[in-house]
Every structure is written in C-alpha cells, then in structure tokens.
C-alpha cells in the first residue's frame, strides 16, 4: 500500500498543478527505496524458520510391581539429555484383574470346568481364583502374558480333565473290549472246565460199561460151565437157567442203551409215532417185567386216575424209557423198607401223565436237575455200591424230548418219582 501511494504521489499532474521537477524526482527516488525495503521484508517473512536442536532420550521397557496385593504399578525410566525421569501409573489390582481377565474368562466355556490363577514374578496373587473352586486343582496350561504384562503368568486349572467326545468313545471302547475279553476268558475257562469234566465222565463211562459188560458175561459163563459139567442138581437147574436168562437180558439192555445213545447223538434215531392207550401200554410193560421185579424182591402197583385219553408215542422209545426207570428204581431202593414200584397213569386236562415211583432214599435236592446229564452219577455211598453207567436217565430225557414229551423228577416222602407228560390226541 505504501508503494502504491508513493507511485500515485509520483504520477504527473495536470499542467496547471504540476510541481517543480526536482520535487518530483526526489519523491520518485523515495518511493523506489521504500519498495525495495518492503520487498526485503516480505522475503524475510516468507523464508523457513530455523530448526530447533533435536532432543535425544533413552527409554527403558515397562516394569511392574504389586504393592500390598492391592495396587499394581507400571513404570519405566527415561533419560532425556542425560537426566533421569520415572514415568508410570498405578491401578487397583482387583479392578485391573476384573476388567482385563475376569470378563474374558467368564464369557468363555472354561468357568464350568476350570479356574485360573495369576502369578506375579512367581508369587500367587489374591483374591481367590475365578471359576470352579477346586481344593486340589490339576494344572491344565500355564503361559506368560505378553508385554507389558510379561511379569505375569496365567495358569488354567481343573479339578479333572474334561472329557471330549473322542475320550468318551475311547473309554466306551476300552470298557467294551475289557468286558468282551473278560467274557471271552470266562467263556473259554468254563468251556475248558466242562470239556475236562466231560472227558472225565466219558472215562468213567468207559470203565463203568466195561464193568457192566463183564459182570453179566462172567455170570453167564459161570452158570453155563456149571451146567455143562453136570455139577448142578436137577431141581436147581431151573434157577441157573433163569440167572442166565436174566443176565443176558441185562446185557442186551446195556448194549441197547449204548447204541441208542450213539444214534441220538448222531441224530440217527428215527421216531415212529403211533397212537396207544397209556393204561394198556403200562400194563404190558409190568407184565413183561413182573418176573424180573419179583426175583429182585419187589412188587408192582399200577394206578389209573381219571379217564385217560390215547397218546402219540414211539413204542420202542417209551418201552426203553419205562424199563430204564423201573431198573433205576430197583437199583437205588434195594435197601428200602418198602420194596414196591408204583406206576400211575392219570389225565389232567389235555395232558396225560405216566409216573414211576420208588420208596428208596431219594435224591439230594441240589442234584435233581443234574441227573439228566450224560454220564452223571450221584457221588455218594449209594452210588458207590450200585452198578450203573450213568446214561440210563439221560436216555430217558433224550427219548422223551425226541417224542415231544416232558420228563421231570421230584422227591417224595419217601422215595423218588419220575413223571412223563404227553399231550393227548
């Protein structure tokens, strides 16, 4: 603005107003000098300010301290221009843990099974851990926190390790395999024991059969030689002939039992069912065996109860069943006070029952069901003095099952009673 004013004052005026030429020249020179000064001032104003000298300071990493288990202090040391300063801040320890750790921990799935502990420079910080309060926790994981909390360690603890689905599957498989192995071991053990028992029973059976075959053959040979040599009086010959006949019948019965057992085990026994009248059939059996029973010192008693209907049976199988039961009654009640064998035929609804009872010592209750097993003999004084192979009663059950009948045994006072149940026609 001063420069423009100087120029305006230096401009030529009208002729009638024109000043002296020396005055104009002086004003013009001053105007140009003022312009030069203003340009110089503008140049100074627009120029860059001078840079201040740079301040160099050394800064240490943050450190932390816990005071009275209540305050958490973060601080660091700074050396600007070789002068030491300490910078830092203090925070309430419970509020710091609550705001930075508790919220994150409680919003996760960990509090249901775990808790956390905070250590500062190796020392446990109070208050009590957040989560499950476990008196004897197990350490699940431990790690140091990042800077500037590198003086802190966080430990996750659990009362017991959580079970994942894979862990549950492995546990289930382990239990299943353990049970399977144990069951297999017990099964093999029981099978081995049964095989050993069966082998022993077969060995006893062979010995018993050998003895049972030898006894009648010896008797037949002895009576035959005596008769051939003429050493027997005439009135005694009939008795000797009868002994030979009885022993031969006994031998035939034993052989028949063994052959029948073999056929039943090979499923070669052919069942031919026919309709019979039970009362008449039992009467035929008692008549057939009456002489043998009388010579053994026993007597028959037959009983019929109700209107008995016809039944479907295999006559050979039923005959062998009744013979075996009668022979068993004679053997095991030979020392009984009442030497009688009672055969009862009765009708109950649609079932027909044929019962064979003796008046001997009976069978121990715990062994009643075992007597139907093959080669089984009751191990007591009664059987030690009684001949037998242990297959007669098992054949009774096998033949009854083949005919569709049911056999059972029960103790009576006194004696034992076997019962056969048939469905009537």
**One-character DSSP codes across 6-44:** HHHHHS---TTT---HHHHHHHHHHHHHHHHHHHHHHHH
Tokens of 120: 């500062």
- The DSSP bridge partners found for residue 276 are 311
C-alpha–C-alpha distance, residues 417 and 325, integer Å: 10
C-alpha–C-alpha distance, residues 190 and 371, integer Å: 20
- The DSSP bridge partners found for residue 87 are 76
C-alpha–C-alpha distance, residues 251 and 221, integer Å: 13
Torsion angle defined by CA atoms of residues 284, 290, 291 and 297, in that order, rounded to the nearest 10 degrees: 170
Which pLDDT score is estimated for 100? 76
71 exposed, middle or buried (CB, 10 Å; 0-12, 13-18, 19+)?
middle
Residue count of the chain, please give it: 425
C-alpha–C-alpha distance, residues 425 and 421, integer Å: 13
Which pLDDT score is estimated for 383? 45
Matching residue, tokens 């009668």: 326
- Helix then strand count (H, E) for the chain reads 10, 16
Closest by alpha carbon to 9, among 25, 228, 377?
Answer: 25
Whether residue 156 contacts residue 142, with contact meaning beta carbons closer than 8 Å, is answered with: yes
Which pLDDT score is estimated for 33? 57
Which pLDDT score is estimated for 238? 81
The answer to whether the pTM exceeds 0.75 is no
C-alpha–C-alpha distance, residues 254 and 155, integer Å: 85
Which pLDDT score is estimated for 108? 73
Query: Tens-of-pLDDT digits for all 425 residues of the chain?
Result: 554 554 555 444 444 444 454 444 454 455 445 545 545 555 554 555 555 556 567 888 888 888 888 888 888 888 887 788 898 888 888 888 777 777 777 777 666 667 777 888 878 876 545 555 555 567 777 888 888 888 888 887 776 666 667 777 888 889 999 999 999 999 899 988 888 877 776 776 676 666 667 667 777 888 788 888 888 788 888 888 887 887 787 778 778 777 777 777 777 778 888 999 999 999 998 988 888 888 888 999 999 988 889 999 988 889 989 988 998 888 888 888 888 999 999 999 889 999 999 998 888 888 777 788 776 766 544 444 555 566 788 888 988 998 889 999 999 888 899 999 998 76
Which pLDDT score is estimated for 369? 78
Whether residue 293 contacts residue 404, with contact meaning beta carbons closer than 8 Å, is answered with: no
């Amino acid at each position: 603005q001063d420069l423009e004013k100087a120029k305006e004052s230096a401009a030529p005026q009208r002729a009638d107003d024109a000043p002296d030429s020396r005055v104009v020249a002086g004003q013009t020179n001053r105007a140009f000098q003022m312009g030069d000064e203003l340009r110089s001032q503008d140049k100074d104003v627009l120029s860059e300010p001078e840079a201040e000298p740079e301040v160099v300071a050394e800064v240490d990493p943050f450190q932390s301290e816990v005071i009275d288990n209540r305050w958490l202090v973060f601080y660091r040391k700074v050396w600007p221009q070789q002068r030491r300063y300490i910078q830092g801040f203090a925070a309430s320890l419970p509020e710091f843990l609550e705001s930075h750790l508790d919220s994150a921990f409680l919003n996760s799935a960990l509090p249901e099974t775990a808790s956390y502990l905070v250590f500062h420079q190796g020392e446990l910080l109070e208050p009590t851990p957040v989560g499950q309060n476990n008196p004897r926790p197990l350490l699940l994981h431990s790690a140091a926190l990042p800077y500037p909390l590198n003086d802190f360690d966080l430990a996750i603890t659990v009362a017991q390790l959580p079970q994942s689905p894979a862990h549950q599957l492995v546990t289930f498989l382990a239990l299943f395999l353990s049970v399977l192995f144990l069951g297999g071991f017990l099964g093999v053990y029981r099978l081995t024991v049964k095989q050993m028992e069966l082998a022993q029973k077969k060995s006893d059976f062979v010995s018993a059969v050998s003895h049972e075959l030898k006894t009648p053959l010896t008797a037949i040979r002895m009576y035959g030689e005596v008769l051939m040599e003429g050493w027997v009086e005439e009135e005694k010959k009939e008795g000797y002939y009868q002994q030979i006949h009885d022993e031969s019948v006994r031998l035939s019965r034993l052989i028949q039992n063994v052959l029948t057992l073999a056929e039943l085990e090979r499923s070669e026994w052919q069942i031919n069912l026919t309709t019979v009248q039970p009362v008449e059939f039992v009467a035929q059996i008692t008549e057939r065996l009456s002489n043998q029973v009388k010579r053994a010192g026993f007597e028959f008693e037959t009983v019929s109860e109700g209107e008995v209907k016809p039944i479907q049976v295999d006559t050979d199988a039923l005959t062998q069943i009744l013979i075996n039961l009668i022979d068993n009654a004679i053997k095991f009640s030979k020392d009984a006070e009442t030497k009688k064998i009672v055969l009862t035929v009765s009708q109950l609804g649609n079932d027909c029952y044929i019962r064979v009872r003796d008046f001997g010592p009976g069978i121990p209750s715990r062994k009643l069901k075992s007597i139907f097993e093959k080669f089984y003999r009751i191990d007591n004084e009664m059987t030690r003095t009684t001949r037998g192979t242990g297959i007669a009663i098992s054949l009774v059950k096998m033949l009854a099952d083949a005919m569709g009948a049911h056999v059972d045994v029960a103790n009576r006072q006194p004696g034992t009673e076997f019962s056969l149940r048939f469905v009537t026609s």
